[in-house]
Structure 1
């Protein structure tokens, strides 16, 4: 399977794009790690340019006004309000790294669990879209910085632990992330995000039979997970289980009207 097929298939799944640029690892063998890049580091540049965006005159005016308010703010509440507005504007523009930066500013101004979580979630969103290795490492580090602070106070947040786990997959020690995902599934065998990510990681390492098992578990508990349904079909296809692949793709066709997904499915069906 070409990586481009997977990326084009569901372009909205940014995490998949990032995952397919990661080192290939064996996710279901405790003793085996393949294809790691020598000297890969999670260290990021001390400064990362995060503020460039093409703005309309109205947006530029709003940015300038909120930046002025942020610079002149004398209370945490004022800083949070201005930084949050800037983050929302950049997120709407699809500038997720800039959005994360400003939500980080808000979290540093007022370190409530809510603000820390918002910053961590924003950095994770930016992480899933990033392709440059240094930027991926920096955004992953920032995600862990904020979400781990929430997890210290609320360790039951498996949704946040899953995101932290996925950031480790991009480091020189990816098995740390795999181990965390296994721990999540040991605690909650039906965890939707952990099952999905373990399936994707199995695909990324070429373990398509294991991927089918993960996605079968996923859709058993979460039948409306369109991504899982689609990737189950892809996994069947790559595992040479053609009859199952055909039936699965036909099932996914009934679940969506998205022309990109349907076009990708038809491409697979034409090969069966």
Structure 2
């Protein structure tokens, strides 16, 4: 029989594997055909980074030759453009890469947009996309670079409007994940929820961080409230099930897992949940 500690390790490992397509994604993003995989490239003196050229080249290896040629043409136009036109070309590239679930080059192009057209909205959008890239990649060099890029984008956004809850939420997420003292990030997210109790992203992250820190009772309360009063999503049910499982409440975990499966209607997630449910019924 597994010890509670062993069970917790197994479940958290499962979260790490699934987080790329569950965490803060719409249903269309629950499954990605291939994981992003890029090689870290030195971009700034003491800071590991990912160059736009390298990210694009790596992503092109994951798509069809016809699509890759289209991107090469669009990138050529981007390189030749100036000012507003350059920003517009970057927007097109960012959207097209996002449509293919290639968050890393998409985020880097959104950063280019924000540099050309600095605004609260543009920096928040870039920060959110960098967080998506951070969640999706398991590359040990790229992951911290994406988190740092996200933090930098949200720092720019907060500098423009320190009261904006989206910017503050993004900043809190990056701080908890390693860009500062974790409790400082938690405080930011709690402040967001205090001002906007139905803020989905802040509540979702507080619940997830409660699981990561082993506070499963708090996680259950957070996710149950989120599902009942804010929005019932596949990932909310999945994490609720995870918390229940860690407390040995197998039937509650099974019910929540099956709700996640039903809402997601995703073959990859369904297969994982079917195996999980079978284990819990033993």
Aligned twin of 1:117: 124
Q: CA shift at 1:80, angstroms?
A: 0.9
Deviation (angstroms), 1:209: 1.9
The equivalent of 2:4 in structure 1 is none
1:138 and 2:138 equivalent?
no
CA distance in 2 between counterparts of 1:170 and 1:118 reads 19
The C-alpha deviation readout for 1:2-29, integer Å capped at 9, x for no partner, is 245435667621569xxxxxxxxxxxxx
Alpha carbon RMSD of aligned pairs, Å? 2.9
- The one of 86, 90, 93 equivalent to 2:97 is 90
Alpha-carbon distance in structure 2 between the residues aligned to 1:247 and 1:6: 18
1:242-253 to structure 2, matched below 5 A, reads 242-249=250-257, 251-252=259-260
TM-aligned CA distance change 1:59 to 1:266, over 3 Å = closer
Matched, 1:50 2:55: yes
For normalisation by structure 2, the TM-score amounts to 0.73
Change (3 A) 1:167 1:255: same
Q: Are the aligned partners of 2:176 and 2:185 in contact in 1 as well (CA < 8 Å)?
A: yes
Taking the TM superposition and a 5 Å limit, the aligned residue runs for 1:1-272 are 1=7, 2=10, 3-6=12-15, 12-14=21-23, 44-45=47-48, 48=51, 49-52=54-57, 53-54=60-61, 56-74=64-82, 76-171=83-178, 173-249=181-257, 251-252=259-260, 255-270=263-278, 271-272=280-281
Give the stretch that moved more between structures: 218-227 or 196-205: 218-227
- Indicate conservation of the 8 Å contact 1:208/1:236, yes or no: yes
- For residues 142 and 153 of structure 2, the distance between their equivalents in structure 1, rounded to whole angstroms, comes to 17
Consecutive unaligned residues in structure 2, runs of 5 or more: 1-6, 26-45
> Which structure shows the higher helix fraction?
2
- Following the alignment from structure 1 to structure 2, what is the Cα–Cα distance between the partners of residues 135 and 253? 30
* Alpha-carbon spacing, 1:193–1:269, altered in 2? closer, same or farther (3 Å): same
Equivalent position SS for 2:197: coil
- Distance 1:87-1:10 versus aligned 2 partners, 3 A rule: closer
Checking the alignment, whether the CA contact within 8 Å between 1:103 and 1:119 is kept in structure 2 is yes
Contact 1:196 1:228 (8 Å CA) reproduced = yes
Deviations for 1:10-54, whole angstroms, at most 9, x for unmatched residues?
7621569xxxxxxxxxxxxxxxxxxxxxxxxxx732554422222
Q: 1:218-252 deviations in whole A, cap 9, x for unaligned?
A: 12212522221222122112112234334444555
Q: Quote the Cα distance in structure 2 between the aligned partners of 1:13 and 1:246.
A: 18
Q: Give the direction of change, closer, same or farther, for the CA distance of 1:208–1:144 in structure 2 (3 Å limit).
A: same
Report how many aligned residue pairs link the two structures. Answer: 245
Q: Distance in 2 between matches of 1:89 and 1:219?
A: 32
Preserved CA contact (<8 Å) 1:5 1:264: no
Does the Cα contact within 8 Å between 1:44 and 1:135 map onto a contact in 2? Answer: no
Asked if structure 2 preserves the Cα contact closer than 8 Å seen for 1:87 and 1:100, the reply is yes
Residue 42 (structure 2) aligns with: none
Question: In the aligned structure 1, how far is the partner of 2:102 from the partner of 2:262?
Answer: 33
